[in-house]
Amino acid sequence: MKRILVLCSGNSARSQIAQAYLHYFADRLKPTEPVEVYSAGIKPKGVNPLAIQVLAEDGIDIAHYTSNPVDDYRHIPFDFVLTVCDKAREQCPFFPAVGQRFHQSFPEPSHMKGQNADAEAKLTAFREVRDMIKNYSQEFISNHIAVNKPASTH
């Protein structure tokens, strides 16, 4: 069993999106062992409705996801911990059983267009960040999760 934890500051958008895509791509890759993906925040804020919306546009339902504090997962031995914002990287707690840590900072979509942005501008920002995280997640799974390869028939 491979376990991945995705951390961001609020566990409201970026880490939720990454959790969904990492799970999605791992399932389609047919890894040699099961993959569990979790997400958490330094100070959880609840799942952002726009994150739910932009993932639904791509056929992924995260309406049942919850926003969780990182301390809920201290007992789990993770193979990978991914931080998706600089604040989480700076404040990431020590996990004694972590195999590898990775950092890829993504913009906070709710702040990209400014606090006074209209609804369409905010939705556009969420779509942009979703697409960045989707690409990163696909590459991460391809590069770090072993897959079943057909046996050679020579």
Domains for the chain: give ranges and CATH numbers: 2-140 (3.40.50.2300)
Q: What is the pLDDT of residue 92?
A: 66
**What is the pTM (predicted TM-score) of this model?**
0.89
Q: What is the pLDDT of residue 93?
A: 63
Distance CA 8, CA 28 (A): 25
% of the chain with per-residue pLDDT over 70: 84
Q: What is the pLDDT of residue 143?
A: 93
Mean per-residue pLDDT of the chain: 87
The model's pLDDT over 100-136, given as tens digits with 9 standing for 90+, comes to 989 999 998 987 666 667 888 899 999 999 999 999 9
Q: In 3D, which of 112, 50, 143 has the Cα closest to residue 17?
A: 50
Catalytic residue among 92, 98, 117, 123: 92
Q: Which H or E run includes 129? A: helix 119-144
pLDDT confidence band for 32 (50 / 70 / 90):
confident
42 touches 88 (CB < 8 A) = yes
The model's pLDDT over 127-148, given as tens digits with 9 standing for 90+, comes to 999 999 999 999 999 999 976 5
Is there a catalytic annotation at residue 85?
A: yes
Is there a catalytic annotation at residue 92?
A: yes
For residue 118, CA distances in Å to 51, 84, 112, 122 come to 16, 25, 12, 6
Say yes or no to pLDDT of 19 above 80.
yes
Amino acid identity, position 105: S
Catalytic residue among 82, 85, 141, 145: 85
- Helix (H, G, I), strand (E, B), or coil: what is residue 139? helix
Catalytic residue among 8, 40, 55, 133: 8
% of the chain with per-residue pLDDT over 90: 62
The model's pLDDT over 60-113, given as tens digits with 9 standing for 90+, comes to 999 999 999 998 998 889 999 999 987 766 766 666 566 898 999 999 898 766
Q: What is the pLDDT of residue 89?
A: 67
